[in-house]
Amino acid sequence: MDKIIITEYDHAIFKYTNEDSNLVKELNDYIDENIDEVYDFFELKNRNNKAIIEIFPTKEEIDIAVSKAKEVDASSIPNWLIGFSCSDKIYFLSLRDYKSTPYKDKTDLLEYKKTILHEYIHYIVGLYLLENKCSYPIRALNEGIAQYLSHQRDKNIITLKHDLSEVLEGNTAYSEWYLITKYIIDNYSKEYFLELLRNRNEAIDFINNNFDNIKDMKQVKR
Ligand SMILES: [Zn+2]
């Protein structure tokens, strides 16, 4: 069993093994460089929070940990999952076992680093909801804002393939969730997005009433 190293930085406490030492520094730098934009968006006063980020050496190990946290069978964890966020904990797959995921042929370090920022944004959403004493938002907006602020979709062509019920209740409508988020921020305001994030039922009504318009939207560069 490899020895677990714990290192505390400004925004995170990393747990990892020696082989991932350089990777952890790089991931931490990436979070440091991009965190202000996220904190500015949510206008959080306290910026001294630290997520606990655990780096898993293998896809098999992260699947087991995620399945325990979600109380589901490990075989139900999707092959593309490399990160997971739950309250103040983030699980993340080491780049060393990226080969066990569908991303193996297009190993792009920037995309990989955007994914840890995506997971970190979920952590900050949790802090925002706590500060505003709100219950959990709809998945569409939580996943939408994580993609939007991590710039994962900035240059992508978005293909839409999920229907309204999948968008509201499913687990995979990431493209639609991103587009809904962008639609609200571009056509209304950041403030209105945050209002919908805080109010689950209002968000569901909004998506029900606007999904046809959103589907017509073309992806534009921000
Ligand atoms: Zn996510």
Report which residue type is found at 177: W
**Residue entry with tokens 């589901």:** 72
pLDDT one-digit tens code per residue, 47-94: 999 999 999 999 999 999 999 999 999 999 999 999 999 989 999 999
Confidence tier at 107 by pLDDT (50, 70, 90): low
- Say how many Å lie between the CA of residue 29 and the centre of ligand 1: 20
Which value, in Å, is the radius of gyration of the alpha carbons in the chain?
17
Give yes or no for residue 28 having a pLDDT over 90.
yes
- Say how many Å lie between the CA of residue 169 and the centre of ligand 1: 15
- Say how many Å lie between the CA of residue 140 and the centre of ligand 1: 10
Of 132, 101, 121, the closest CA to residue 11 belongs to 121
What class, spelled out in words, does domain 1-133 have in CATH? alpha beta
- Say how many Å lie between the CA of residue 31 and the centre of ligand 1: 16
* Class of residue 184 by CB neighbours under 10 A (exposed 0-12, middle 13-18, buried 19+): buried
Q: Is the pTM of this model over 0.75?
A: yes
- Say how many Å lie between the CA of residue 171 and the centre of ligand 1: 10
User: Which of 10-14, 134-138, 212-216 has the highest mean predicted lDDT (pLDDT)?
Assistant: 10-14
- Report percent pLDDT > 90 for the chain: 78
Q: What is the pLDDT of residue 218?
A: 56
**Residue entry with tokens 């992508």:** 156
SS3 92: strand
Q: Where in the chain is the domain with CATH 3.40.30.160?
A: 1-133
- Say how many Å lie between the CA of residue 70 and the centre of ligand 1: 14
Q: Give the pair of three-digit tokens for residue 56.
A: 């898993």
- Say how many Å lie between the CA of residue 58 and the centre of ligand 1: 20
- Say how many Å lie between the CA of residue 120 and the centre of ligand 1: 9
Give yes or no for residue 169 having a pLDDT over 50.
yes
Confidence tier at 221 by pLDDT (50, 70, 90): very low
- Say how many Å lie between the CA of residue 144 and the centre of ligand 1: 8
Give 214 or 115, the one with higher predicted confidence. 115
